[in-house]
Each structure stands twice: as structure tokens, then as C-alpha cells.
Structure 1
């Protein structure tokens, strides 16, 4: 059995653990990127986040590819690459045009920011 076969087998045997780590990792870093852009924080910080997410998405796509190699076609094998592409798109937008992303985020939050009443418990 080759090293490639062993890596693929490892990936499939530990699917829950791999996805259980990579999905929250990408989700949290993508959210942090939105916060960093919204608060006009350092572009270097956004780039560092982007590099981490690109690495996580690459691992996730390689993991899903091991399932495609053996012919397993299920909803997660399509959802995870779309999720990864969304994370990459967010980071590309954040690194290439943070000003337009910030304007979009402010537009999304405008109804919340304009509320005059406070919530009471």
C-alpha cells in the first residue's frame, strides 16, 4: 500500500474529526476577518487570516477529494467544497477590496445600528 493510499485511508477513517476541526476553524477565521475589516484593523492581520483559511480550505478540499476518489457522492461531499469556496471568496474580497466590504457590512448592519429602542428583559 502506497503512502498516498494510506493518507486517503486515514482521511476517510477520521472524517468526523477532520471536518469537526476544519469547518469551525474556517468559520471562526472568516468571521474574524469580517470583524477586522469592519473595524478597519491592520491589513496584515487580514492577510494572516486569509493564509490560514486558504490552508484550511485546501486541507478540506483534499479530504473531500478522497471520498470522490472512491465514488462516495453524498450531500457533504458537495456542501464542504461550496463552504470552502465561500470562505475563500470572503478572504479574497477582504484582501483585495476591504473598503467595499466594509461598506457592505455597514449596509447590512444599518437596521441594527439605527434602532432607537433598547431591548428590555
Structure 2
């Protein structure tokens, strides 16, 4: 028969393996839940994703509590507990208010896309916006003056 003390000892003895598997599972499954909500998947698929990622987050929190019970208070303890709580809160948000989560994610993606488009340099043709000068005809030099805001090279 398993006792609580044996489970806590197992959790502490296999800490590296448990953390190395539960942290990526938590992050990836919560990201999958947010993706499914933002892409408007079926409610059953979203509930299954919420259930799996919430289970992983609860397991990580319980593993973290096994260290807090014996008094190990270190930075990794708080970091792992924060990861578990953030994943649980995102899953609760996806479960209780999927519409507001979808709107928020789409707004963030839109702002990020606009920011990336601002970083992309414009095409040279649109920057100069000059008409080509014909080679074999008389040229009215007043027509080919520099545009306002663009300084000619010296």
C-alpha cells in the first residue's frame, strides 16, 4: 500500500526527471489550449485540452509542495510553483471565458503583426517614388526634382 510519505519521497528522489517532463508538458499543453481557444476549435476538444493541462499543472504543484513540506525554500521551488499557477490560471480562463481569451489573443497577434511590419524595410521603388527619365528625348528638369522629405545625395 502506498503511503503519503512514500509518494513524497518518490517525488523528491526523482525530482530531475519529474521536473524535466512536467515543465515542458505544462507549457506546451497550455499553449495548445490557448491555440485551440483562439482558433475556435470544438468545445469538446478544448475541454479535453484544459483537463490534460490542468492535470499536469496540479501534478507539478503537488511535486513542488513535496519540497515545501520538508522546508526546502529555494528559487526553483518558487519558479516551478509560479509556472504551475500561471498554467492553471490560463486553463481556468480558457474554461470560464473562452470568448474574452480569444479576443485578447487575436488582439495581441494583430499588434505583434503590425510591429513586425514596421520593422520590415520598405521597397526602394516606393521609397524614392521617382519616374524614370527618358534617355532619347528632351527633359523638363523641373518635373524631376527631388520629392519633399528625401534629401538628394551629395
Shorter-chain TM-score: what band? Answer: 0.7 to 0.9
Deviation of the 1:29 alpha carbon: 0.6
Taking structure 1 as the reference length, the TM-score comes to: 0.87
Task: Report the counterpart of residue 13 of structure 1 in structure 2.
Answer: 13
Deviation of the 1:3 alpha carbon: 2.4
Once residues 89 and 5 of structure 1 are traced to their aligned partners in structure 2, the CA distance between those partners, rounded to angstroms, is 29
Once residues 76 and 6 of structure 1 are traced to their aligned partners in structure 2, the CA distance between those partners, rounded to angstroms, is 23
Q: Please state which structure has a larger fraction of its residues in helix.
A: 1
Once residues 112 and 88 of structure 2 are traced to their aligned partners in structure 1, the CA distance between those partners, rounded to angstroms, is 27
Deviation of the 1:101 alpha carbon: 0.8
Taking structure 2 as the reference length, the TM-score comes to: 0.69
The reply on whether 1:60 has 2:65 as its aligned counterpart is no
Q: Figure out how many residues of one structure are paired with residues of the other and give that number.
A: 117
The reply on whether 1:70 has 2:55 as its aligned counterpart is no
- The secondary structure found in structure 2 opposite 1:104 is helix
Larger Rg: 2
- Structure of greater relative contact order (alpha carbons < 8 Å, 6+ residues apart): 1
Deviation of the 1:35 alpha carbon: 1.0
Once residues 113 and 68 of structure 2 are traced to their aligned partners in structure 1, the CA distance between those partners, rounded to angstroms, is 45
Task: Report the counterpart of residue 31 of structure 2 in structure 1.
Answer: 31
The reply on whether 1:87 has 2:93 as its aligned counterpart is no
- In structure 2, the gaps of 5 or more residues are 122-154
Deviation of the 1:39 alpha carbon: 0.9
Deviation of the 1:111 alpha carbon: 3.0
Deviation of the 1:68 alpha carbon: 1.1
Provide runs of 4+ in structure 1 moved above 4 Å: none
Deviation of the 1:47 alpha carbon: 0.9
- The secondary structure found in structure 1 opposite 2:72 is coil
Contact 1:43–1:95 at 8 Å: present in 2 too? no
